[in-house]
Amino acid sequence: MTVSGERASRGPLFPAATDTARRWLPPVAVFVAVLIAWEIYSSGGGFFNPIPAPSAIWAALFEEWTLLSSAALATIVEALGGLVIGTTAALIVGFLTSRWAIARDVLLPLAIGASTIPIIAVAPILNNWFGVLNPLSKMSMAALLVFFPVVINVTRGLVEVGPAKLELMRSYAADETTVMRKLRVPHMLPFFFTALKVGTTLAFIGAIVGEFFGGTSEVLGRVVLQAISGGKFDVAWAAIIIGAVAAILAYVAVTLIERAVIPWYWHIHDEPR
């Protein structure tokens, strides 16, 4: 708790450009330095080259762009599809469990049970269910991974609002719908976005793992496998990097949505540097 004056003079929601530069410059500089060192090491013809030179990966990216871009697009569709399915299912279960105690007693143990399944082992079964060529089989793999963190956080956010706030609403004779709208949902949103950010990266992992167990060849997971079996490690790494970039962009997108939807939360937690 601080005195109003010093906090009231706080700057705008988004830090100024110079602050952004100060924040991002060190990691970017380190990253570039590592790239350069790595390039020099590789071009020296060292006897141990676990990863191709950055220039080789860069070249492979251009040479195989047609394959890589369509594969990336397919994988992104799978991952985002899975993200949407998993998140929607988790929201539905979360709302049911918070609204009705009986749903909590039935569904939450099931959800926790489901989370203990070694999910990678389920991938071949999902391929079998939905058809190995059907992107839905990969989406459901991603959705399974997304579901658990989201449902747990949404339920917590909806339920653990604190007795005092509930008593306040009771003193207004607020009905359950109003309590949901004015108290539980706003309270849940930060929990939800935290889980959604975790879920976004999990969705890409789920989709690519699903691809390893069969399906069309024009997806990132298959491209990696085929490139490796053909000894083309530069292509494999190009595919991996595209996957990583796509996941990062999706993560950034979720963060931007979060900032737009719950600006107050960032106002509290994003301390200026």
Partner 1 sequence: MQQTTEPAVRLSGVEKVFPVKGSEPTVALTGIDLEVGQREFISLIGPSGCGKSTLLRVVGNLIAPSSGTCEVNGKSAEQARLDREYGMVFQAPVLFDWRTVEANVRLPLEVTNVPRDRREALVREKLELVELGGFARHYPHQLSGGMQQRVAIARALALQPSLLLMDEPFGALDEMTRERLNAELLDIWGETGTTVIFVTHSIPEAVFLSTRVVVMSPRPGRIAETIDIDLPHPRGEQTREADRYYELVTEVREAIRGRTAGGADLAARARSDASFG
What is the binding site for partner 1 (CB under 8 A)? Answer: 1-4, 7-8, 10, 162, 164-165, 167-174, 178, 182-183, 186-187, 189, 262, 264-265, 267-268
4 or 116: whose CB is closer to partner 1? 4
Closest separation between CB of residue 171 and partner 1, Å?
5
**C-alpha to C-alpha distance for 191 and 207, rounded to whole angstroms:** 24
Closest separation between CB of residue 268 and partner 1, Å?
5
DSSP string, 130-177: H-TT-HHHHHHHHHHHHHHHHHHHHHHHHH-S-HHHHHHHHHTT--HH
Closest separation between CB of residue 79 and partner 1, Å?
30
4 or 18: whose CB is closer to partner 1? 4
Angle at which helix 119-130 crosses helix 135-159, to 10 degrees, equals: 130
Report the helix count and the strand count for the chain, using DSSP H and E: 13, 0
Closest separation between CB of residue 82 and partner 1, Å?
30
Closest separation between CB of residue 97 and partner 1, Å?
22
165 or 197: whose CB is closer to partner 1? 165
- For 169, residues 6+ apart whose C-beta sits below 8 A from its C-beta are 178, 179, 182, 183
20 or 178: whose CB is closer to partner 1? 178
168 or 249: whose CB is closer to partner 1? 168
> What is the number of residues in the chain?
273
248 or 261: whose CB is closer to partner 1? 261
Closest separation between CB of residue 163 and partner 1, Å?
10
> Residue type at 115?
S
Under 8 Å between Cβ of 243 and 206? no
Under 8 Å between Cβ of 54 and 37? no
23 or 267: whose CB is closer to partner 1? 267
- For 186, residues 6+ apart whose C-beta sits below 8 A from its C-beta are none
| 173-203 burial: b if 16+ Cβ within 10 Å, else e | ebeeeebbeebbbebbbbbbbbbbbbbbbbb
The residue among 186, 182, 209 whose CA lies nearest residue 120 is 209
Closest separation between CB of residue 105 and partner 1, Å?
21
**C-alpha to C-alpha distance for 168 and 164, rounded to whole angstroms:** 6
